Amino acid sequence: MTKPLRIAILTHSTNPRGGVVHALELGEALGRLGHEPTVYAPDATGAGFFRDASCRMACVAASSAGRGVFAMVESRIADYVGHFKSARNRQFDIWHAQDGISGNALVTLKERGLIQGFARTVHHVDTFDDDRLSALQLRSITAADGLFVVSRVWRQWLARELGRDAHHVGNGVDMERFSPTPDATDAALRARLGLSHGTPVFLAVGGVEERKNTIRLLEAFQAVHARRPACRLVITGGASLLDHGAYQERFSAALAHSGLPGDAVIRTGPWPQELMPALYRAATTLVFPSTKEGFGLVVLEAMASGVPVVTSRVAPFTEYLGDDGVVWCDPFNPTAIAGAMSASLDAHCRERLVARGLVVARRHDWRTTAQAHLAIYDRLREAVHA
């Protein structure tokens, strides 16, 4: 490319979800390559993005949404369309949606002749009870002029189910932000959560959600805690636009009847981004027994922080992780999860996992991910100017 690209990267939220993290990191990496990206998100609170970034960021005012997820999704799509129908807000060479909300907004803009085409990253495909949400998700994918995926399992799904080819771009991790080296935030974080040195801490990132498998994780933790009463389970994150209320109620009931002491399970809720590196370093093991993921960025973040990982022996994890780098588990079997958690506490096992995890993390850099987008971007720009 002989000229810097002006790239609009649209995501669904300002919260620290995987797709939003990817959007910001992609924007920063594209900027370092000499391009001019702007990352957009609807901002319902006025608080802005969960962290600062070196690329340009822009928040779109989010209108009041009606009750229910579908009404909220429709409102966010309309917010995007309303913002970009103004010509002065459309001075971009490339339009790139990271999710269904922003993808549907770009479909509408394309149908109205306001943009010529767009790319869409499919991190994963959700299953909805509401057929209207399923239809919107499908529309945002099938109308895209170029598709990206972060893992091969979803590339195969798109080819099999929709007959669409997608370009695999992978993911990365910032090895400066996430590192094993402690700083001034470590002691403050331990004090804030009441974690003493020597206490085994199992960390779960992503909040209480069905696809994060939190109830089975709780059952597994009960078994580990029975043998190691000092251990703690810290569940962090969970900011989401989707409604996980019913599952969270089931989790709360399971916790109430678990017999665990009150301080054994710590739910932090959404966690300040500046404290995430210290939270990883405070962990003995990251436990991530998800049943469905696009990639699982938190695995790389934990590995870059020198933390052993327990995760599901399913794709996409099996695409980039090997037997020597993680402790695998069957995510549908709490006993298997518990066994993997216990195995991760073995000193010899931990030494191997930490060393191998750092090697895996170093293989995934955002520059490579950004460069993997450029051929499709170039094709889209050529199509616009044809």
* Residue 268: how many other CB atoms lie within 10 Å: 17
Topology of the domain comprising 185-362: Rossmann fold (3.40.50)
Distance, CA of 205 to CA of 38 (rounded, Å): 27
Distance, CA of 85 to CA of 90 (rounded, Å): 8
pLDDT at 340 over 90: yes
Q: Tell me what pLDDT residue 385 has.
A: 65
CB 299 within 8 A of CB 317: yes
Distance, CA of 69 to CA of 241 (rounded, Å): 7
Give percent of the chain with pLDDT exceeding 90: 89
Domain residue ranges of the chain, discontinuous segments joined by +: 6-172+366-385, 185-362
CB 326 within 8 A of CB 310: yes
Per-residue pLDDT of 113-158, as tens digits, reads 999 999 999 999 999 989 999 999 999 999 999 999 999 999 999 9
Per-residue pLDDT of 88-118, as tens digits, reads 999 999 999 999 999 999 999 999 999 999 9
pLDDT at 163 over 90: yes
Task: Answer yes or no: same fold for 6-172+366-385 and 185-362.
Answer: yes
Which 8-state DSSP code applies to residue 175? Answer: T
Assign 301 to helix, strand or coil.
Answer: helix
Residue 161's H or E segment, with its range, is helix 152-162
Amino acid at 146: G
* Model confidence band, residue 245 (pLDDT cutoffs 50, 70, 90): confident
Residue whose C-alpha is closest to residue 286's, from 372, 363, 204: 204
> Please, what is the end-to-end C-alpha distance for the chain in angstroms?
16
pLDDT at 196 over 90: no
Distance, CA of 195 to CA of 187 (rounded, Å): 9
CB 145 within 8 A of CB 119: yes
Distance, CA of 348 to CA of 383 (rounded, Å): 55
pLDDT at 380 over 80: yes
**Across the strands, what pairs with 147?**
120
- Average pLDDT of the segment spanning 25-37: 98
Q: Tell me what pLDDT residue 237 has.
A: 87
- Average pLDDT of the segment spanning 209-215: 95
Phi and psi angles of residue 57, each rounded to the nearest 5 degrees, phi first: -125, 145
- Average pLDDT of the segment spanning 295-303: 97
Strand extents, DSSP E, 270-378: 285-288, 309-312, 327-329
What value does the mean pLDDT of the chain take?
Answer: 95
The whole model's pTM is what?
0.94
Which is the CATH superfamily of the domain at 6-172+366-385?
A: Glycogen Phosphorylase B; (3.40.50.2000)
**Across the strands, what pairs with 269?**
236
Q: How many CA atoms lie within 13 A of 56 on its CB side?
A: 9
Q: How many residues does the chain have?
A: 386
